[in-house]
């Protein structure tokens, strides 16, 4: 975080400063990392004591103090010998501090901010943008999927005085959450990747999901840029909702930034990218899966808008071989057996894309095994979407389907009810059972996909299988 005095922080969050500690004064400067996790505290850091659904961060404030926290932001004064700022709501205070820090850095320098949202692809696109932008200037981007009301501000608070680019991943589980993050960061470029059924149960339906994602562009200024997926019928109409200049990306000829000659293979994806002005370039993209081409196109669009040369953008894209751990992560290798661990999260769109990639990358004469778990947070759409994935697995000719957990059992039932299928489906209750089944049944040359929502926990199964077949 940029250096601020205790008084400045208290003013920013609207809290009461409590001076504890022998040397504390309102003018004491703090410039450490901001976190809500006491385990991450190092000397000089700032700890926000956040109340959670199952625990209370105030319980961990003593540990934060013991590890050298320079400041505690709390909802009631604690008997600890550390300066404290008492606020009504620590999460709201966290956002207020982030808003202040972003405004200060922007006013003092030439900071440019890119906001990224969508039902799928946020983290991948954020990582690709970081790979591009850190080549041309100091860049801050979220770690992992820090994209909610806590993770978003923590990312923003990592800004330093010389930061040139901030890539802010913005997720939501309800209407209004992206708008709050947008008000904190005020993006110069707002990207909307895709609107699908991910978290539709939490949003209350697809219409509410569209409304929430559109919050990325509705408050952009005429001087800003809205980067929109023109291939998505739910995203393209957002062009009418923004005052910003619109730049589109997609595979169709009507896209401003587009890809042609897309070829998918086991080493990644090759395509030609075209940008406004007639310039084009060939890209050998090492991230597995044709669906990631759209994330690459969004990255190209935003990067070129920020003045990065196309050749530099392509070089950065080609340097990335893994979007993120547990996202189309290629593992294994023994006896020609490949494990694709894509079990960080799952929605109907990403599940479909992963299965299609599995079918595309398998070598002739070899088999495919799909180990699939539940797609969570789909609400009323859950049954029909699991049915659809079961049918897709059959129609893609998956050789062996292994369905894990009661939440995904309907997928298994739908698949075995398709009489024309030459493959087979097995249902197991646990990851351990799935592991034993795959280890016993895999043959040389097989390609194994592991895919589920994060809550199903299959990412660790993917790690186990990758290690076994390494």
Known binding-site residue numbers for ATP: 118-124
Q: How far apart are CA 211 and CA 209, in angstroms?
A: 5
The helix (H) or strand (E) run that includes residue 61 is: helix 61-66
Q: How far apart are CA 270 and CA 290, in angstroms?
A: 9
Long-range contacts of 358-362 (CB under 8 A, 24+ apart): 358/396, 358/398, 358/447, 358/449, 359/396, 359/397, 359/398, 360/264, 360/265, 360/290, 361/264, 361/265, 361/266, 361/288, 361/447, 362/447
Q: Which residues are annotated as a binding site?
A: 118-124
Rg of the chain taking only CA atoms, in angstroms: 24
List % helix, strand, coil for the chain (3-state, nearest 5): 40, 20, 40
Half-sphere exposure of 192 (CA within 13 A, CB side): 36
> Pseudo-torsion of CA 24, 26, 28, 31, nearest 10°?
120
Q: How far apart are CA 128 and CA 151, in angstroms?
A: 19
Half-sphere exposure of 396 (CA within 13 A, CB side): 25
In 178-326, the DSSP E strands lie at 189-192, 225-229, 245-250, 257-265, 268-274, 280-285
The helix (H) or strand (E) run that includes residue 140 is: strand 139-141
The helix (H) or strand (E) run that includes residue 114 is: strand 112-117
In the three-class reduction of DSSP (H, G, I as helix; E, B as strand; rest coil), residue 249 is classed as strand
| Tokens describing residue 12 | 């920013």
Per-residue burial over 230-248, b = 16 or more CB atoms within 10 Å of its CB, e = otherwise? bbbebbbebbebbebbbbb
Give the angle 115-140-110 at the CA atoms, nearest 5°: 80
What is the maximum span of the chain, computed from C-alpha positions, in angstroms? Answer: 78
Q: What DSSP string describes 353-390?
A: HHHHHHHHHSPTT--EEEEE----S-GGGHHHHHHHHH
| Tokens describing residue 287 | 């991230």
Half-sphere exposure of 252 (CA within 13 A, CB side): 9
């Amino acid at each position: 975080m940029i250096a601020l005095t205790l008084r400045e922080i208290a003013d920013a969050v609207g809290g009461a400063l409590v001076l504890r500690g022998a040397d504390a004064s309102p003018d004491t400067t703090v410039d450490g990392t901001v976190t809500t996790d006491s385990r991450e505290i190092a000397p000089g850091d700032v700890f926000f004591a956040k109340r959670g659904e199952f625990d209370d961060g105030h319980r961990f404030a003593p540990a934060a103090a013991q590890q050298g926290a320079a400041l505690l932001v709390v909802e009631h004064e604690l008997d600890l010998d550390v300066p404290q700022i008492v606020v009504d709501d620590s999460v709201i205070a966290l956002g207020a501090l982030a808003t202040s820090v972003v405004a200060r850095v922007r006013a003092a320098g030439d900071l440019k901010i890119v906001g990224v949202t969508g039902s799928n692809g946020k983290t991948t696109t954020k990582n690709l943008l970081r790979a591009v932008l850190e080549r041309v200037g100091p860049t801050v981007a979220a770690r992992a999927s820090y994209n909610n009301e806590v993770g978003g501000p923590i990312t923003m608070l990592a800004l330093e005085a010389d930061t040139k680019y901030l890539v802010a991943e913005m997720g939501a589980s309800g209407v209004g959450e992206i708008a709050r993050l947008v008000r904190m960061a005020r993006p110069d470029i707002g990207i909307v990747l895709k609107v699908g059924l991910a978290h539709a149960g939490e949003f209350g339906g697809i219409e509410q999901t569209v409304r929430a994602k559109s919050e990325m562009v509705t408050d952009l200024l005429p001087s800003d840029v809205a980067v929109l997926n023109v291939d998505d019928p739910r995203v393209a109409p957002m062009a009418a909702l923004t005052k910003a200049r619109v730049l589109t990306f997609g595979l169709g000829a009507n896209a401003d930034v587009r890809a042609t000659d897309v070829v998918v293979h086991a080493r990644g994806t090759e395509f030609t990218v075209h940008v406004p002005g007639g310039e084009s370039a060939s890209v050998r993209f090492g991230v597995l899966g044709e669906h990631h081409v759209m994330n690459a196109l969004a990255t190209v669009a935003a990067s070129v808008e920020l003045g990065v040369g196309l050749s530099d953008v392509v070089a950065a894209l080609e340097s990335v071989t893994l979007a993120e751990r547990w996202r189309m992560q290629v593992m294994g290798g023994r006896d020609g057996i490949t494990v694709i661990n894509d079990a960080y999260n799952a929605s109907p769109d990403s599940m479909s894309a992963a299965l299609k990639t599995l079918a595309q990358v398998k070598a002739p004469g070899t088999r495919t095994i799909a180990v699939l778990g539940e797609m969570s947070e789909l609400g009323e759409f859950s049954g029909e979407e699991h049915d659809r994935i079961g049918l897709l697995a059959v129609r893609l000719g998956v050789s062996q389907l292994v369905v894990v957990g009661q939440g995904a059992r309907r997928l298994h039932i739908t698949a075995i009810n398709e009489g024309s299928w030459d493959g087979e489906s097995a249902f197991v209750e646990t990851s351990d059972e799935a592991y034993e089944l795959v280890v016993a049944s895999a043959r040389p040359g097989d390609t194994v996909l592991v895919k589920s929502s994060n809550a199903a926990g299959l990412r660790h199964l993917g790690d186990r299988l990758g290690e076994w077949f390494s």
